[in-house]
């Protein structure tokens, strides 16, 4: 059932991601072009519950497309997770005349948006996370920038690792998703890629691999660890003890979440922002925007949130084959 709306709110929620500003800009400018008013909600759902709401116009999103982070700030809200928090959020939206809402974030944020839609606020989600772990889309805002940042860091570590003929463990972000690790593992020619979706906890195999590679003349050994594997420093110590090869661990950390978005993140985030605003302007609700099979698409939240995805088996197997020499 479609409902005409007058005012679109936009918020960013959960971990920030480069390209979120491009998405905000596109939401604001598309809504204005369609004759709607726009309100920015600062600090995600937490800010919504605190009525941290500002009027936005075309000028408020000037000069932000190239900036990392999110001009609206972001947060995780324990209060909003509760049903009473969601009911309160609806009352606040009504008080401020917000009848359509764009939520830029991950699955957890979308579940909140889905409930708001049931409670009468038209909502649309845009996948914003560096982790790429949203099932209904092959692209999430920020992944491309994050993976390029991590790749550049690993290139640098590789230089010093080779000079010292060391083994290097580099931990990239991804608590439960190994996409950044897998992509960097391939792009940086890592000898081993450890991801939560596939890790078998066989450290002896990793040690044997290092020794075997050293015997055939490899002067460095790069292991890319996803954050979810954990204990990179402990692993480095155990590897050094077992192999006699100097081993260092580097946790790249939040460097991956910042920085100027890549061209892809700017363009795709813009397309998704525009699409989200158009859906609301056309009376749509309870939708999540995605990118699949070469197209920008949208799904009902129920359908999108029910989807599952796993690491691409071809990519994972290919990475393993290429690191075998």
Supply 147's token pair. Answer: 């993976």
| 68 touches ligand F6P (CB under 6 A) | no
Among residues 99, 144, 171, 227, which is the contact residue for ligand F6P, using CB under 6 A?
Answer: 227
Residues ≥6 apart with Cβ < 8 Å to 200: none
| Between 47 and 284, CB nearer to ligand F6P | 47
- Interface map 234-273 toward ligand F6P (x if CB under 6 A): -----------------------x----------------
Supply 274's token pair. Answer: 């525009």
Q: Active site includes 131?
A: yes
| 173 touches ligand F6P (CB under 6 A) | yes
Q: How far is the CB of 177 from ligand F6P (least distance, A)?
A: 7
Sign of the alpha-carbon torsion through 78, 84, 90, 94: negative
Distance CA 193, CA 225 (A): 6
Q: How many residues in the shown chain lie near ligand F6P by CB under 6 A? A: 9
Active-site residue (options: 16, 99, 131, 298): 131
Phi and psi at residue 268, to the nearest 5°: -65, -40
Longest pairwise C-alpha distance within the chain: 70
* Part in contact with ligand F6P (CB under 6 A); list of ranges 25-33, 126-134, 193-201, 234-242: 126-134
* Part in contact with ligand F6P (CB under 6 A); list of ranges 25-33, 92-100, 169-177, 192-200: 169-177
* Part in contact with ligand F6P (CB under 6 A); list of ranges 51-59, 168-176, 213-221, 303-311: 168-176
| Between 74 and 285, CB nearer to ligand F6P | 74
Residue 103 has what DSSP assignment? E
Supply 164's token pair. Answer: 């010292």
Pairing of strands 37-41, 100-105: unpaired
Run of H or E including 229: none
**Residue 122: beta bridge partners?**
100
Residues acting as catalytic residues: 131
**Would you tell me which residues interact with ligand F6P (CB under 6 A)?**
15, 129-131, 173-175, 227, 257
């Amino acid at each position: 059932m479609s409902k005409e709306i007058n005012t679109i709110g936009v918020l960013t929620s959960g971990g920030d991601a480069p390209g979120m500003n491009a998405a905000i800009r596109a939401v604001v400018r598309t809504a204005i072009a369609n004759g709607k008013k726009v309100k920015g909600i600062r600090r995600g759902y937490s800010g919504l519950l605190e009525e941290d709401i500002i009027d936005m116009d075309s000028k408020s999103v000037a000069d932000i497309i190239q900036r990392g982070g999110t001009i609206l700030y972001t947060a995780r809200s324990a209060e909003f997770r509760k049903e009473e928090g969601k009911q309160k959020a609806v009352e606040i939206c009504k008080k401020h005349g917000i009848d359509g809402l764009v939520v830029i974030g991950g699955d957890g944020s979308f579940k909140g948006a889905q409930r708001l839609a049931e409670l009468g606020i038209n909502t649309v989600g845009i996948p914003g996370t560096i982790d790429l772990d949203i099932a209904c889309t092959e692209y999430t805002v920020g992944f491309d920038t994050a993976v390029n940042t991590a790749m550049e860091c690993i290139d640098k570590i590789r230089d010093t690792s080779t000079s010292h003929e060391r083994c290097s463990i580099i931990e990239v972000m991804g608590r439960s998703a190994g996409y950044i690790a897998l992509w960097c593992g391939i792009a940086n020619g890592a000898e081993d890629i450890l991801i939560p979706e596939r890790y078998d906890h066989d450290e002896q195999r990793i040690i044997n691999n290092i020794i075997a590679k050293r015997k055939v003349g490899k002067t460095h050994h790069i292991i890319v660890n996803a954050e979810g594997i954990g204990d990179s420093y402990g692993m480095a110590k155990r590897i050094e003890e077992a192999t006699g090869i100097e081993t260092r661990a580097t946790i790249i950390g939040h460097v991956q979440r910042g920085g100027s978005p890549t061209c892809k993140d700017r363009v795709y985030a813009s397309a998704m922002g525009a699409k989200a605003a158009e859906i609301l302007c056309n009376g749509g609700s309870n939708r999540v925007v995605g990118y699949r099979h070469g197209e920008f698409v949208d799904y009902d939240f129920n359908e999108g949130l029910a989807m599952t995805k796993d690491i691409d088996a071809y990519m994972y197997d290919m990475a393993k084959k290429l690191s075998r020499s």
